[in-house]
Amino acid sequence: MTETDFAYAKINISLDIVSKMPDGYHEMLMVMQSVSLCDELTVECVSGEGVRVESGLLYLPRDERNIAAKAALEFYAYTGITGFETRISITKNIPVCAGLGGGSSDGACVLRMLNRMFKTGLSRETLEELGAQVGADVPFCVAGGTSLAKGRGGHLTDLAQIPQCHIVICKPPFALSTPELFGRIRCDKIRSRPDTKGIVKALGRGDLDGSARRMYNVFEDVLPRGERDITDIKLAMIDHGALGAVMTGSGPTVFGIFDNSTHAQNTYNYLKLNYQDCFFAMPTEKIDT
């Protein structure tokens, strides 16, 4: 059995940290959106055992350390299916360590594909629960679309789809440590927060501008380095006509939302002169799992 599918990147329209929970994890409040930037995955199941991952990036793990492999193992453990070797081939287009959920989306894509290939009929909710065992962003990436995420990211509420728009995505040439950023957060000292309630209401009435101008990511206040690049990219997007621009996830990638395709294209062209990892994307709707 062989199947090919796409794993869509995610952006954080808002990212807020509400509190630190008793288990040591942080309680998040986020509006998340899937976008057309995607990896391409092919899953082949043959007689045998084990899970193997291949990609064009030699530094990515090929065993259960890879989220795609972890997702496959979680699926088999839950369903009790045995006797198959699973080969996962990933064509990476989503930058790694970028705050775009590339690995999480790959894992979610594997769950969807195996569910179809073995005709197990697992519901979206069950796939999201399995995804939560693999990574915090995997539950959202199972279906994507537009959602409000709470807790560690696995408590999802469907929201009105963001109005059609153009999204420019730009990653500066460095990575940020997610654990380090969380370690710098002091929930009672966060200076600026996104207007998450306002974003949800704006989405409900189809107000793209109202959503975009309320965006924020609290991690931007605790950046250990690279703040200049992130600020420069945001300002360039705003100067070229973005309705709003913000860092996604734990960064360092920045995205801007545009209601004008010419402004978006001009922004992309400008940023591409200095940043290799620039992409032009559109929001995607929820996937029927």
Please give the positions annotated as active site. 10, 137
The bridge status of strand 216-217 relative to strand 2-20 is parallel
Full DSSP string of 124-147: HHHHHHHHHTT-TTHHHHHH-SEE
Measured at the alpha carbon of residue 196, what is the angle toward residues 157 and 240, in degrees to the nearest 5? 115
The burial of 276, by beta-carbon neighbours within 10 Å (0-12 exposed, 13-18 middle, 19 or more buried), is given as: exposed
The bridge status of strand 2-20 relative to strand 26-47 is antiparallel
Full DSSP string of 208-228: HHHHHTT-EEGGGGG-SS-HH
How far is it, in rounded angstroms, from Cα 222 to Cα 225?
Answer: 9
β partners of residue 50: none
200, 146 in Cβ contact below 8 A?
Answer: no
Q: What is the DSSP letter of 97?
A: S
How far is it, in rounded angstroms, from Cα 30 to Cα 194?
Answer: 9
How far is it, in rounded angstroms, from Cα 14 to Cα 149?
Answer: 10
108 Ramachandran zone, left/alpha/beta (phi>0; psi -120 to 50): alpha
How far is it, in rounded angstroms, from Cα 17 to Cα 221?
Answer: 12
How far is it, in rounded angstroms, from Cα 130 to Cα 135?
Answer: 9
